Structure 1
Amino acid sequence: MSKPAPNPLLAIDRATDHVLGSPDARVSLVEYGDFECPSCGQAHAAVKILREHFHDRVAFVFRHFPLREVHPHAELAAEAAEAAGAQGKFWPMHDLLFEHQRHLDAGHFLGHARDLGLDVVRFENEMRDHVYLQRVQEQIAVAEQLRVRATPTFYVNGVFVDVSMGLAHLRDAIDAALANSG
């Protein structure tokens, strides 16, 4: 039985994607997520453990897919992550947003920006002007082309991994990809 070919829409673009891990990693893990999604919040802790376990052997990418119809604060949270990313602090903001999922509003975003040592005036201006909304919407559009329907949705080396029965499948898929890439 042949393996499905990876989708080119899932290729990592280091110019626009936020990537943790070595640029030379043989395996990529792409997550489409929503900062207000309870399932993404639960997955966040597990993914953090996976990131620590696999370290530089896996390049981890987070892409935005805010489910605006059910999570009214998710899109603005994605913009806050991007605004922090413009100042080199995407991943710390990413973690704070998931750790404080019940407090996704402008006041808390500003507090996080201060805590992270961001240029708060720049952050406030970019948030007010929705400077990063287009980037978020572009990631949503790609997710829709991929037929992403729920969050979190994961891809290992461009191949969808069903985690509906638990995140152990994700670890297994990464282990298999590492074994096949050597």
Structure 2
Amino acid sequence: MNDDRSHSSLLVPPSIQDLMQGVLSAKVVLVMYGDYQDSRSADVYKLIQVIKRELSASLGEDYLCFIFRHFPQIQIHPHAQRVAQAAEAAAVQGQFWSMHDTLFAHQQKLENGYLVEYANNLGLDIPQFLKDLSKQVHINRINEDIETGIHSGVTTAPALFINGNRYIGRWKTIELMTAIVAASH
């Protein structure tokens, strides 16, 4: 019996199409499937940022590549998909990571008015941003991320893959950093 959820590896490898910090040739490529309205996704992202800073300082900037893929859980988070679209609309204007950080930092304020405020604070072209949201220009990109996650066994966010292998350890700094360093050997 072939059950997709039994997969413990990333079936769609990282590519230049992904939203990333770092380079694909890094010793370790960390892929996160996340939901902007999910508090655990925000906590794991903060944890990754701490680890990324520490590893960059001690092992070099090109040691870790971080990739974010959308996995909005619309059945429990009503704003998640629209917020993912806002992040993608910001990406088109070169501000994905700034919007990404803002959305995770303000999880309790993700209604449309706040999204416009965040876009304005980032200096985005607001008419273009609103047009992208109203026409759901980026929905296919988000759905592709969801599909790649589902095919790799992701059922809920957050989910992490280290060099293509599912991370099933605890969401703690030492455990995750140990797994990342071990993957580079």
Instruction: Indicate whether 1:13 and 2:19 are aligned.
Output: no
8 Å contact kept, 1:162–1:169: no
1:119-158 → structure 2 map (5 Å cutoff): 119-158=125-164
Residue 110 of structure 2 corresponds to 104
Contact 1:67 1:74 (C-alpha < 8 Å) held by counterparts: yes
CA RMSD of aligned residues (A): 1.7
1:156-175 per-residue CA deviation (whole Å, 9 max, x = no partner) reads 00000014453532211111
Question: What does residue 94 of structure 1 align with?
Answer: 100
CA shift at 1:5, angstroms? 9.1
Runs of 4+ in 1 over 6 A off after TM superposition: none
The aligned residue for residue 41 of structure 1 is 42
Cα offset, 1:6, TM superposition: 5.2
Distance 1:165 1:29 in 2: 14
Tell me the TM-score normalised to structure 2 length: 0.88
TM-score (normalised: structure 1): 0.89
Higher relative contact order (CA 8 A, sep 6+): 2
Structure 1: tracts of 5 or more residues without a match: none
Contact 2:28 2:183 in 1 (8 A): yes
Which deviates the most, 26-35 or 50-59? Answer: 50-59
Secondary structure at 2:29 match in 1: strand
How many percent identity over aligned positions?
33
CA distance in 1, matches of 2:171, 2:66: 21
Give the secondary-structure state (helix, strand or coil) at the position aligned to 1:135: helix
CA, structure 1 residues 81+8, in 2 after alignment: closer, same or farther (shift >3 Å)?
same
Q: Distance in 1 between matches of 2:41 and 2:147?
A: 19
- 2:66 corresponds to 1:60: yes
CA shift in 2, pair 1:121/1:81, >3 Å: same
SS of residue paired to 1:24:
coil
Relative to structure 1, the CA distance from residue 28 to residue 63 in structure 2 (aligned partners, 3 Å threshold; closer, same or farther) is same
Contact kept? 2:10, 2:161, Cα under 8 Å: no
Deviation at 1:44, TM superposition (A): 2.1
2:120 aligned residue (111, 114, 120): 114
Amino acid at match of 1:27: V
Q: 1:131: how far off?
A: 0.3
Corresponding residue SS for 1:136: helix
Q: Which residue pairs with 1:84 in the alignment?
A: 90
Instruction: After superposition, give the CA deviation of every residue in 1:120-178 in whole Å (9 maximum; x if it has no partner).
Output: 11101101110001110111111111110121100000000014453532211111122
CA contact (8 A) 1:43 1:167 kept: no
Pairs aligned (count) = 174
Equivalent AA in structure 1 for residue 114 of structure 2: H
- Secondary structure, counterpart of 2:31 in structure 1: strand
